[in-house]
Amino acid sequence: MHIGLMIRNMGDQSTREIMAGAALAAEDREFESIWVVDHIAIPPEDSEGSGGRYVDILTSLAWLAGLTSTIKLGSGVLIAPYREILPTAKQIASIQELSGNRLLLGIGLGWMDAEFKALGVDRKERGKKTDELLTFLHEAFSQDEVELNEQKFLFKPRPPKPPFYIAGSKDYSIKRAVKHGDGWIPIVNEPEEFEEDLRIYRDMCDSSNKASDKVNVVSRLNLDDEALSKEKLTKFEDMGIERLVCGLPYKDLDDFLNKIDFIKSLIN
């Protein structure tokens, strides 16, 4: 089971010094991947923990790609209906190209009403818009010549397609992961709470003749309890999880380093 780390691209920890230090430390310690999140318009009443400060997800990934050499780069997750199809596809392909094919593309529908309102996007259309982006991405990464709005054009650079991991635990999210994704990336508190959804996902993959082993989970370890943390890691690994993406609260770079060194000690 691979271990990824969430890098805070929000709040006081989203300075270039802390983000760069965290990314380089994760790579130096040979963690498999680093991940950043996506918010674009936080209202004041929901700004606790971030102060409303979020560095753009795709800009962060591009910048982190330039800083690092080997570690994989994950979007956890890109909110598809917030973005126009073609510019977003071009950014994704560019990051994949310039990073040396290190991108792990998590994609989700979004949930915050205020963000949809600020963007002027109908929240009821989020499923449709997400499917449209995913459909175009599959086409764009499979052929040089594509078409949008009755206009044919060349889609280059066209690096190898990054794996698509679809977020969410609702029935429609699991169906979308099977239909459009290479894998699935739900948020999971405890392994036991996840067993039924995992069975449903794998059964649907089997029915569709798709691989069912590309399951990532975003979760937190109890960093104050070594035994509980090891137990959680073992349970996820026994469930056949491909990758655990660890959410990490931290105050500053030193705090981040202490916590990832603890995680490293659990998996050595």
For the segment 148-199, what is each residue's pLDDT rounded down to a tens digit? 999 999 999 999 999 999 999 999 999 999 999 999 999 999 999 999 999 9
Domain range list for the chain: 2-267
| Model pLDDT for residues 115-155, shown as the tens digit of each residue | 999 999 999 999 999 999 999 999 999 999 999 999 999 99
Contact 133, 107 (CB under 8 A): yes
> What is the band of 41 on the pLDDT scale with cuts at 50, 70, 90?
very high
Q: Which residue has the tokens 């054009």?
A: 153
Closest to 54 measured CA to CA, from 32, 79, 88 = 79
Q: Which fold has domain 2-267?
A: TIM Barrel (3.20.20)
Q: Is pLDDT above 90 for 268? A: no
Instruction: State how far the Cα of 84 lies from the Cα of 98, in Å rounded to an integer.
Output: 21
pLDDT of residue 78: 98
Contact 74, 106 (CB under 8 A): yes
